[in-house]
A and B are shown apart, each in its own frame.
Chain A
Amino acid sequence: MKDEGMESKLRSEAKALLEQGKVDYIIGFEDGSLKFTTTPLMTSDKDDTSRLVINPFIVNNLSVFLTEVMGRVGIVAKGCDSRSIVSLVQDNKVAREDVVILGVPCLGIIDLGKVEELVGKGRDEIEDIIRDGDRVVIMASGNKREFPTREVLFDNCLSCELPTPQEYDILLGEPTSLADDRERAASQKKIDSLRDMTPEQRWEFWTSEFDRCIRCYACRNVCPACFCQQCFVEETEPQWLSPLPRWQDNLMFQVVRIIHVAGRCTDCGECERACPVNIPLRSLTRGMYDIVDVLFHYRAGMDKEAPPLLATYEATDAEDFIR
């Protein structure tokens, strides 16, 4: 189930980086405490590098930790994560020279929610998940079932524009290819259905989704683009939003958050994955991502020299919305 080649390369490279004093920390993944999970590993101890793993369950965007650690860091980054790092460099939150990017050419991350739904079993009731190219075999209650891999990958992986990091120092494997059109279409299903709705229906949809929100802020806290020390939602003079978890405030919190991360959001999908109450946040973030792309031909985290989206302009920027 593991990618042995990449994993052993990662372990030796990470160890060497620490040994040679090139980095103070390694941020990577180790096996999690539950089946089919991984957990972030942050260490300065070279012996810990033997615990580093690479597998289809390395969900987290580890760049969120870059703004916390001091010193130089070696970080494991999938394509989307590497874009977040670039975006942080653009915003001066990370100095490129302080980061050694251990790039993971990514084949997509498995969405356990989709797996659970496909086999009708909980994650912990599943015996094994084996990915073999574009097929995936799932063993549950002694039954073996096979599905196309695309059916178990996260939506954002299906439309990934950069599976292999463009910005890296060490690439841990052979570059992987882009998602095909069919996969891309599948990833847009939720968004397309939203676009087909009338404004009233869309509004209804979102208000009911955000009625569930408990304001745990996991979406914000897993997001590398949310790098503020104090979030606007915590401001009291003026108080932008009520801290009470009610749909208007919940929804508007997310709307403002997404406006704030416009041009920084790399569609890594972490907000949606972290949400404990299944709010389809990626349908919102991707909506903004597409707006930014269409209006300004700008995709976050692609060019570390570029100024942040809203700190620059073109005289020829779109004017069609101006009356």
Chain B
Amino acid sequence: MARGRVVVSVDRCKGCSLCVEACPQNVLAMDTKVNVKGYTPAVAINPDKCTGCTFCALVCPDVCIEVYREKGGTKNG
């Protein structure tokens, strides 16, 4: 069972895939569909594995990831 959860703001995403690379749990991948801006956004393909470590959010240059965690932690890294 996942200890964390990420919410990607799909239409803000520019498909840079920095979050995909940064995620230690391989939770994320790039979608195949394009968003309103014409980019293929990040999507959680393995949501169960998410630990809520916030790495993806830390590296996202477009601030389009929100992270939730079961127990509270330091906010924004």
**A, B from the same assembly:** no
Q: Which residues of B contact A (CB under 8 A)?
A: none
Q: Which residues of A contact B (CB under 8 A)?
A: none
